[in-house]
Amino acid sequence: MRRFQFRLERFLELRRWKEREWEQKLARALGECLLLENRIREIGEEIDAIRLADYGGQNAAAGGRGVRVDIEAMMRRDQFIQRLAAERERAQVTLEEKRREMEKVRARYLEASKERKVLDKLRERREQEYYERQIDEEYRGVDDLNTAAAALRVEQAAAE
């Protein structure tokens, strides 16, 4: 039995390649989103850690003479927190843009996947039809041989 050959195999390979390409783009976009989400989370944790830090604890423990408030340190801390908050806002805006881009890439990936699946289904159906025809031809060939052998036996029996 001859092996099945799909005439559109090159198109199928191109579709597979295109699908893999969009899958890689989707993975890159998803990776960028995850990095931004992690950075936003880290900034939030850093802000929380700064707010919870006890800057006057050492002075209070040094003899209980009262707590000295360092206004400049508080201002620097607040400015640092503001800078981190602004960085987090920029990262959130960037994340939303990346998510929109990722959705576009996901749509293109799904489209490419659908195109490949259509050709895969067509290939499977044609392959199944091909092998069914091959089996039918084999049965007909065996049937023809059996019929010819039976006819030969009848002819030989009639000749005797």
Q: Is residue 88 assigned to a domain?
A: yes
Decide: 137 and 14 in contact? Cβ < 8 Å.
no
Average pLDDT over residues 46-71: 66
Say how many C-beta atoms besides its own lie within 10 A of residue 20's C-beta: 13
Task: Report the C-alpha gap between 112 and 14 in whole angstroms.
Answer: 10
Question: Is the predicted pLDDT of residue 39 greater than 80, yes or no?
Answer: yes
Structure tokens at 85: 């908050």
Query: Mean pLDDT over all residues of the chain?
Result: 88
Q: Is residue 133 assigned to a domain?
A: no
To which H or E segment does residue 7 belong? Answer: none
Q: How many domains does the chain have?
A: 1
* Domain, as residue range, for 68: 9-121
Question: Is the predicted pLDDT of residue 62 greater than 60, yes or no?
Answer: no
Q: Is residue 137 assigned to a domain?
A: no
Q: Is residue 38 assigned to a domain?
A: yes
Q: Is residue 28 assigned to a domain?
A: yes
Helix axes 71-159, 9-52, angle to 10 degrees: 160
Q: Where are the alpha helices (DSSP H) in 53-70?
A: 57-61
Decide: 148 and 62 in contact? Cβ < 8 Å.
no
Q: Is residue 66 assigned to a domain?
A: yes
Query: What percent of the chain stands above pLDDT 70?
Result: 91
Average pLDDT over residues 15-19: 96
Average pLDDT over residues 108-114: 97
Question: Is the predicted pLDDT of residue 119 greater than 90, yes or no?
Answer: yes
Task: Report the C-alpha gap between 131 and 38 in whole angstroms.
Answer: 53
Q: Is residue 131 assigned to a domain?
A: no
Q: Is residue 141 assigned to a domain?
A: no
Decide: 102 and 30 in contact? Cβ < 8 Å.
yes
